[in-house]
Amino acid sequence: MENEDLKIVNRGLEDEMELSGYRLCRWKLVLMGLGGLCTGGFLFLLLYWMPEWCVKATCTRSAVRDAEVTLLRSTDEFKRWFQAKVRIMLAPGKDPYDNLVSQTTSPQSNDLAHNPSDSAPGKITRNPEDQHVPKRYFTLHSTKYFWNDTIQNFEVLKGLEDLSMTCSSVHSKHSAGLNKNQQEFRRFFFGLNEIDVKVPSLFKLLIKEVLNPFYIFQLFSVILWCTDEYYYYAMAIVIMSVISIATSLYTIKKQYVMLHDMVAAHSTVRVTVCRGENETEEALSTDLVPGDVIVIPSNGTIMPCDAVLICGTCIVNESMLTGESVPITKTDLPNPQQDKKGGHGDAIYSTEEHKRHTLFCGTNVIQTRYYTGEMVKAVVVRTGFSTAKGQLIRSILYPKPTDFKLYQDAYLFLLCLVAVASVVFVYSLVMKILNQEPVKEIIVKSLDIITITVPPALPAAMTAGIVYAQRRLRKVGIFSISPQRINICGQLNLVCFDKTGTLTEDGLDMWGIQRVEDGRFHHSEEKADDKSLVTTKFVSCMATCHSLTKIEGQLSGDPLDLKMFEATGWILVEATEEETAHHDRIELTYVKPPNQLLPPSVISPEQDMELSELYELSASYMIGIVRQFSFSSALQRMSVVVRQIGERRMDAYLKGAPEVVASLCKKETVPEDFAEVLEDYTKQGFRVIALAHRRLESKLTFHKVQNINRDQIEKNMDFLGLIIMQNKLKTETPGVLEDLRHANIRTVMVTGDNMLTAISVARDCSMIQPQDRVIIADALPPKDGQTAKINWHYADKPSKHLNKPTKLEEMDIIMEDGHSVDEMRIQEQYHFAMSGKSFSVIIEHFQDLLQKLVLHGTVFARMAPDQKTQLVETLESVDYFVGMCGDGANDCGALKRAHAGISLSELEASVASPFTSTTPSITCVPNLIREGRAALITSFCVFKFMALYSIIQCLSVALLYSIGSNLGDFQFLFIDLAIILLIVFTMSLNSAWKELVAQRPPSGLVSGPLLFSVLTQVLICLGFQIMAFLLIQNLDWYSKPDFYNCSVPHHMDDFTNSTEEQTEERIMNDVNTTLFFVSSFQYLIVAIVFSKGKPFRQPSYKNWPFVLSALILIVFLFFIMFFPIAEIDQFLELVCVPLSWRVSVVLIVLGNTVVSVFIETVVLDVILWKHVFSRDKQGSYGISPAGPTPQVGKNLTLLFTVSFSLPGVHFPTFTLSPLTFLLLFSLPLTRHSVLMFGLACANMIFLNALLCPMLAPGAYDYPTSPHFPLMLLL
């Protein structure tokens, strides 16, 4: 039943969810109400925290179509639960597009239409005879899900794309716009066109913050302490909580207000809406619905929606979405029906596929261009949160939780502390009952042990390191919108870099040109602005084939286009509105060389004499740009149709990736040595662009060109030659990559540039070492009945012929029978390189190879933005902690998806990136990793310290309970405030170590080093406390008050004669005083031992607040021990013990210190860490020390791996779980050693038998063969 009613919404998308239906159940509601009252509201809190429990406890399962409440669970790795109430609205129709035809053609429909209203859609009414249709829907994360009877599921209405309309239908069916009735009708479903970021009231934020489990537990603790008259610490915790809540509320409110202001600044504008053929009206942008046709003003605007251009051209700044502030030219959507030859190209419209024709919400239209007085029009495609900007805002409002092992282990560790608390709770309960204490005292003291074992200040202490790290990052210009990810940065073992603008300089420099004539290359030339070249087709192509425009008199556009155009020395002129209106044959933009570059006569015999005279071409040489086909990253080319003023025929110019341009040219015009020349340039790291030309047929008129398909233009071209651009490395790039390599952090290049250029840059910046080999994986899709295949070849020896299959004689990668490489290549490092096309083929047809290839893939070229995101996801699937560093232009998806995305752009698009650097330099990457490691180690230190603090205090109280005593209120206060809080907030101040080391910190609390550290320190503290507890009770003077010899007279007499205090807990006694001193020193000992410096943090002695605090506390404790002061002793409820015992306590403390320091620094850090827990020893990788970063595979932090090796012999690798480790560790502590050893062996054998077959090659952190790099493929 449950599986049948389980629906999937948003299938295949990032927010895909499983949906099930429920109906409210009255008897369950009554039962839950009674349960909530009986538990004092705790049951209500539990249901509030757990949406799944809430729905199942108050509802019964039903069919989704009849549901009153929906329960949703995300299908990602987080498996989050959501609940939403199903609502019903009365709509005039079932579907927003149902009445489109009828309302357009039928005049009767206008009479039945509801009255237009600017109010909410729910208030719109129709005539009584209209039949309203009940429409079921629910809202989740600012998105409405409507019930669809056809598919029997809830769906999101996004906009016109739901209709799967073709490009021609956009022109034929949607270009006229909607009337008022249709607009109001659609607004029922799509709502107002606004991205409504509601700023919650302080009261709502306060309630939500206070209902956090952490604050509820604090409230419980405070009430319990007040019942026990422990007011001072309760007051301190309340003050801390109030400050914490106030700070949190201020920060959250500020973020909401900033986001609201950013969205609201341009959310409501006045727009001109088309109502029919020639009718227009002014309206607010909030009234727009999908299907409306709007007029884009000539002076520009901020787009209030996503709309597709159907008439005219726009210059747009899309920095809000892409992070790239370069203006982009948007052209109108092609209409294939108007072009008879191109009718077959009538594709389904998609905002992603046709983004060059789509104006996105939030982007800035700088100016528009139009022909002969026509208006620039666009059809509204998406509104509100469905727009590109709306989706960006949703990703900020509803981010995915941080998936990091530390936080999972923290909850696990807390559960362990709760388990310990439960045991001690039962123990204290039994002890109190045996001592026949009052019932109230039994309950309060037993519950108090829980607040001791699970410290309420733990979460606040855990965030201290992150707060300090965030402050230090801000000082070096790195800002974060997700501080929790700082800890994850400490685990990064792979960083992906964009190339242009990230590893290399943002701009390109012109190195030279190499022209082609008669199918042969000329010698390379440095300058293109020579007089002898001014009238050549090559220079004309450079001057016209670009997307540059003039904004306020300044040339603006793509940096590459700008450099190319400037190299010609030509001038760009844009026609005025008056010129366009009077001469519809004259193009909007034309270019011309300066007069000094022109030869005496450039008039062609084909020139139209009338136009010649009109423009006085004897003194100028003008080329008008008739049509522009914008650059497409998918096609890797752009083209223009131009006409030289005075000539009748038009020309087409093309530029793009050399391989692509050559494939579109006549074979006889492409030089035979094209491949060799191109390879020579790309190997040197140059950016190479090819140019081509075609003389168009005379029958092609101006108006025909406006509607022709680009495929009809971009064919049978004449190859013109190559432009060679130089993209210099940033000065800091090699040094940063070298630091990352020495830190065993793998680096990967993900770029949209040419493969060989990318490989060359990777070698230049030492991402690929000189002695390493690069293998290009060239994957080919299925074709002509043949299956998909992968050709392998070395990048250094590529095939000489582009059209012939690559020879594999150099390679010995045989997929079927698994032959290995030659023994002579043991020490060589291999890197895989592939293009975006190959990556797509491998994802689709070679899933079994994908993970193995990315383990050694270093260069990914010609990658589209979505492919970059897929690559990050694939790397994360093999358990890499992935960082992504890019300039934001095409990296937004990958920046959001990576564990740590670092945007080098401060523009609005970077708001979705977890980290933003104000300096456009990759030096931020090692800084972020260093601070992340420091924050992570700080979190571990604090967590270990807080765990030890709670267990030490719990142990002290448990021991005192056994003799009917307890710690005094002011003793608790001194420990909790003066020692714990002071130490916690100062031990977190250690800054990051100055350099990155090869060693990485553990990723979780459940890891070998941390478990060993905590368990050993617990046992040490347990042993020395019990030693002191037992020793004092066996001394002769323990029961003889007269033996005391203290400087404070009558101190003991006052204590023994006090009958009032005897009736309560006997706090002032020898055992209490002894355990107070021993435990106080133990807190300081573990704080010092745990507060480690190198290799991840600065040494603790440089953290002067911590050193000063620890010294003051140590001196103070020694002072009150050896020089008792009556007022202090009375305040802390201490008694004076004999000097000999005080010396004994000092010896116990010194013994504790020596053992703790020895275990932590010598046994753990030197012996076990280097020989058992180490994961980064290069010697065991079979890789030369000078080689690149070991290609790390799966990182199993829950397991310990132990391997043994002798020269020439390789033993199996054993995998130990924490359980195995604990069983082995327990051998000397139990009499049943044989049984424990048997259990440990059984666990180890089971674990290895279960896991080893499941792990792919490379799953461990080191290879088991010297041929590991290529054996990954076998």
φ, ψ of residue 863 in degrees (nearest 5): -95, 130
- Positive or negative, the CA dihedral 928, 931, 937, 938 is negative
One-letter identity of residue 62: S
User: What is the model's pTM?
Assistant: 0.71
- 339, 498, 887, 1129: the active-site residue: 498
Count Cβ atoms below 10 Å from residue 191 Cβ, excluding itself: 19
* SS3 state of residue 1201: strand
Burial classification of residue 13, based on how many CB atoms lie within 10 Å of its CB (0-12 exposed, 13-18 middle, 19 or more buried)? exposed
Tracing tokens 């250029």 back to the chain, one arrives at 757
Handedness of CA 976, 445, 943, 1152 (dihedral sign): positive
Q: Residue 555's pLDDT is what? A: 79
Query: Do 154 and 146 meet the contact criterion of CB atoms below 8 Å apart?
Result: yes
Kindly report, residue by residue over 1225-1254, the tens digit of the pLDDT: 444 433 334 434 444 444 444 334 333 333
> Do residues 449 and 428 touch, judged by C-beta distance below 8 A?
yes
Q: Are 998 and 738 in contact (CB under 8 A)?
A: no
Helical (H) or strand (E) element with 377? strand 377-382
Segment-wise mean pLDDT, segments of 10 residues, the chain, 1274 residues: 69 85 91 88 87 90 89 86 89 71 38 36 43 84 88 87 84 82 84 85 85 81 80 79 81 81 76 79 87 85 88 79 68 70 64 84 80 78 87 78 67 76 79 77 77 72 79 86 83 87 76 83 76 80 84 75 82 65 53 69 47 43 81 78 81 88 87 85 80 84 77 85 83 89 90 78 85 87 83 64 36 41 49 89 87 88 82 88 78 80 71 79 89 87 86 86 81 85 86 84 75 88 91 74 44 42 62 91 92 85 90 92 88 86 92 91 75 45 32 35 36 41 40 41 41 34 31 30
Q: What are 608-655's pLDDT values in tens digits?
A: 444 444 344 434 578 888 888 877 766 778 888 888 877 778 888 999
pLDDT of residue 323: 55
Question: Where does 331-387 show beta strands of DSSP type E?
Answer: 358-359, 364-369, 377-382
pLDDT computed for residue 1039 by the predictor: 58
What digits encode the pLDDT tens for the residues 426-483? 877 787 787 777 787 777 777 777 777 777 667 777 777 788 888 888 888 888 877 8
Beta bridge partners of 280: 274
Q: Is 498 considered catalytic here? A: yes
How many angstroms separate the CA atoms of 190 and 290, rounded?
Answer: 8
Tokens in use for 1050?
């009558």
Q: How far apart are CA 727 and CA 276, in angstroms?
A: 51
Sheet holding 718-726, edge to edge: 520-521, 509-517, 718-726, 686-695, 651-656, 637-644, 623-632, 589-592, 571-574
**Residue 128: per-residue pLDDT:** 43
10 Å Cβ neighbour count for 663?
A: 14
Average pLDDT value for the chain: 75
Instruction: Find all residues with CB under 8 Å of 662, minimum gap 6, and list them.
Output: 670, 674, 690, 719, 802
pLDDT for res 1154: 93
Taking the alpha carbons at both ends of the chain, their separation in whole angstroms is 45
Q: What are phi and psi of 1019, to 5 degrees?
A: -65, -40
Tally helices (H) and strands (E) across the chain.
43, 42
